[in-house]
Amino acid sequence: MNFNYKKIIFSFGIAATVVSCSKLDEYNPSGSTSDEVFKTPQGMLTLVNACYVDQRNYYGKEDAILMSEGGTDLWFNANRASYANQLTRYEAFTSVSSGTSRNSYTTFYRGLNLCNAGIERIPNVTYPTVAERNQREGEMRFMRAFYLMHIVKFYGGVNLKLTETKEPNYMAYRSTPLEFYKQIITDLELAAEYLPNSWGSEASRATKKSALGLLARAALEAGYSATGAEAQTYFTKARDVAKSVIDRKDEFQVKLWDNYADLWDPAKNKQVGRVAGGEALYYITNTKENLASNYDGNANRMHLWFLTQYSNKIAGLTQTQDYGNDNQRRLMPTRTLLDYYNESIDGRYNGTFQEVWIANVNYTWTATDAARYGKNSSIVGTQVRAGIDTIMMITKKSVANKSARTYMVFDRDSSFNANGTIKGSDVFVPLQKFKYPYRTAVNAQPGFNDIFLIRFAEMYLIAAEAEIQLGNTANAAQYVNVIRTRAAIKAPVNQTAAMQVTAAQMTLDFILEERAREFAGEHLRWFDIARIKNQNNFASFIKAKNPDITAVQDYHRLRPVPQEELNALLNAEEFGQNLGY
């Protein structure tokens, strides 16, 4: 898929939910109006392509990480900084305080409006074949469901807008979350019917497996919004759709990769979604070969935000391509997240985090540095060889005899207080999943990794969670054990048997932990907690797991509707703000 973002122009009015208009200049050779342009397959294709734009405006950017991972049990502000406190600590979080939350609201509704415009107009377009027409509608249905999922998850039952906004409309009405999910499911069922298994060489378009993956998520969420027999129907659907993706893995040319760490090897990044036998059901593409096809010059900056401060520590360790640009640190792992892993049997810990740094400059220990890092004077004069010797270790464990080791050691006791709060050191165990060692310079920001939004592994955990809700814990354990078999360390001792779980262990809290181990940092954590923890235990769960977050309240399970959106409504009082804001 080749997007020319510089030629796609959006102009929106007072409020994204109620006032918007759009102009696309990509295909307009004769100065025709958009209504005329979009009556042709070529013109409609520009509108289909435009439907993807706002997800690229969100994912790979800072807003997505803060909205979807911040403020959970897994992460806190790196170095205890005060950055984005509304989302990371829930402090002074109001309808006007968080630019990130406001920006995201507008982004999702803007993308939704483009999808609505295309879905309304495509019946009037004459295509060479019905299949081509259906495929394009399938893309827009998928993207509409994608935006609606984000709107309802973050903001709850707000305005379920299903028609194009062409002129000012100062009235808006709420729908229930379940009404959102019913529409999302309808769109995704049609998308799954219409979309092809593959677009060939065109990367990052929605496919049949993408629609089914998102459908499994939506049905699971719907189960939590419904009650009684209706909830059981949705949980059954979530299980069945996830199972269908698993059963059809050969048809979809998707599989679990043998080694979890390989998913995050930057040299293999493009294979995970684009190559037959990859693990991504849906991904956002970024490329350094054709910069115009990315949303902007920074493309994917996820490689920046989970890194620790490693440079400027000691003369034997300088900023490098492989270790990353550590100048924009945002989030550090909590002790809870690190302790979710049993790293002696679970390979996902080393596949997710980095604990050891090899010197990249020859170095000889000085008396000054020995004193600075609490070393015995006996190590003064010890040589550390570049490319061979360890210069720094940051670990979740407590380390004995730190003073005698010929490298810097920052351990559990250096990072955390006894109660699990963070001491505030500028070093911590960093997440390394998103590393990008191919930057144009060591301190460059742009990254061009693809972003995996739905992985095949999630189908097993969705099926397991649904089975728990249906009372089938033995079945749930079977699904989880597939994931844990892949995750098990295989050498020098095969830990597969030790990684297996039983039906008795199958609880929703276990699923929350397992999803953390599998998907840490992958834009899912806030959704998971908001789904599984209800309005009576959302805050208590976060406070218990992340004791640095003290201001969170149960109403924070939703973000506020931006105040400027309410100000634009004539029926603002009727529409109302989300509870608590």
Q: What's the pLDDT tens digit per position in 195-231?
A: 999 999 899 999 999 999 999 999 999 999 999 999 9
CB neighbours of residue 177 within 10 Å: 20
Helix axes 456-469, 473-487, angle to 10 degrees: 150
Cβ pair 218, 177 in contact under 8 A: no
- C-alpha count within 13 angstroms, C-beta hemisphere, residue 448: 17
58 SS3 class: helix
Burial of 301: CB neighbours in 10 Å, binned 0-12, 13-18, 19+: buried
Given a cut of 70, is residue 3 above it in pLDDT? Answer: no
pLDDT digit string, tens, across residues 499-512: 999 999 999 999 99
Closest CA to 522 of 263, 317, 292: 263
Could you tell me if 8 and 24 are in contact, meaning their C-beta atoms sit under 8 angstroms apart?
Answer: yes
Query: Cα–Cα distance between 222 and 232 in angstroms, integer?
Result: 10
Question: Predicted confidence band at 30 (pLDDT cuts at 50, 70, 90)?
Answer: very low
Is pTM beyond 0.75? Reply is: yes
C-alpha to C-alpha distance for 343 and 495, rounded to whole angstroms:
11
Q: Which residue in 311, 327, 307 sits closest to 319, CA to CA?
A: 311
Residue 33: per-residue pLDDT: 61
**Residues 6+ positions from 307 with CB-CB distance below 8 Å:** 324, 325, 326, 329, 430
CB 17 within 8 A of CB 109: yes
Backbone angles phi, psi at 301, to 5 degrees: -105, 20
- Report yes or no: 326 and 402 within 8 Å, Cβ to Cβ: no
pLDDT at residue 37, rounded to an integer? 78
In the block, residue with structure tokens 């939704």 = 112
Give me the chain's average pLDDT, please: 93
